[in-house]
Structure 1
């Protein structure tokens, strides 16, 4: 039972940590950050199981993480108002060709990163973007302007 309680505590600590990292951080990890994440995984395992290398301890920790992931998924499904807090909300980063600097700062994104994603979506100029939305998954959805300024096409790209 001790493993389950420690796994539960670590699940929520990791959940909060991932939410604090922001949307784009997970999609744009450097090789060093991947190594840090792997090392964190090992440290977490040791913290949960107190170096319990038994199959039972590992199984309990994994099942506990899966259980809480499932519970949070069901909570979002049953109570849609929780979605913003648990999964995040989409954020508009470009409106009618204008970059919204305050929204970029909230997610620690630069103009260059948005422009790079625009190029990957086949968009050459900021003025060609009617809307750009940073999705909770970290992807950016672009809605291009047509000749009259109306929305016409939607492209999605994932930050690299």
Structure 2
């Protein structure tokens, strides 16, 4: 039972840590950060199981993490109001071709990061963007402005060739 209690505590500590890191950091991790997370996983395991290297101890720890993951997923499904606090919410970072600096600052993003994502989406200029939205998963969705430069219909003058 001790392993289950420690696994529960570590689950919520890791959950809070990942929420504090922010959306963008998780979406754009460097190789060093990935390795750090792997090392952190090993340290978490040691903290949860102490020196219990048994199959039972590992199964209890993994099962506890899985239980809380599924439980939080169900809570969000059953109580949609929890979604914002548990999963985050999309944030508009570009509106009508203009960066929203306050929202960028809130998620610790730079103009160059937004421009890089625009290029990956096939967008060459900020003026082409109607909406740029930072999704809870860390990706940026872009919605292009409607193009109104289609050729005007030629007027029929009634003359025949």
Deviation digits for residues 75-124 of structure 1 (CA, Å, limit 9, x no counterpart): 00000000000000000000011100110111111000000010111110
Question: Considering only aligned residues, what root-mean-square deviation do their CA atoms show, in Å?
Answer: 1.1
Q: Which residues of structure 1 form unaligned runs of 5+?
A: 150-160
* Mapping for residues 95-114 of structure 1, pairs under 5 Å: 95-114=95-114
Partner of 2:73: 73
| Structure 2 residue 139 is matched with structure 1 residue 135 | no
Partner of 1:145: 145
Partner of 1:157: none
Structure 1 residue 146, shift from structure 2 partner: 1.8
Partner of 1:20: 20
Structure 2 Cα separation of the partners of residues 147 and 50 of structure 1: 62
Q: Give the match's secondary structure for 2:130.
A: strand
Point out the more displaced range, 68-77 or 24-33: 24-33
TM-score, with structure 1 as normaliser: 0.91
Larger radius of gyration: 2
Q: Which residues of structure 2 form unaligned runs of 5+?
A: 150-161
TM-score, with structure 2 as normaliser: 0.90
Partner of 1:126: 126
Structure 1 Cα separation of the partners of residues 48 and 21 of structure 2: 22
Partner of 1:116: 116
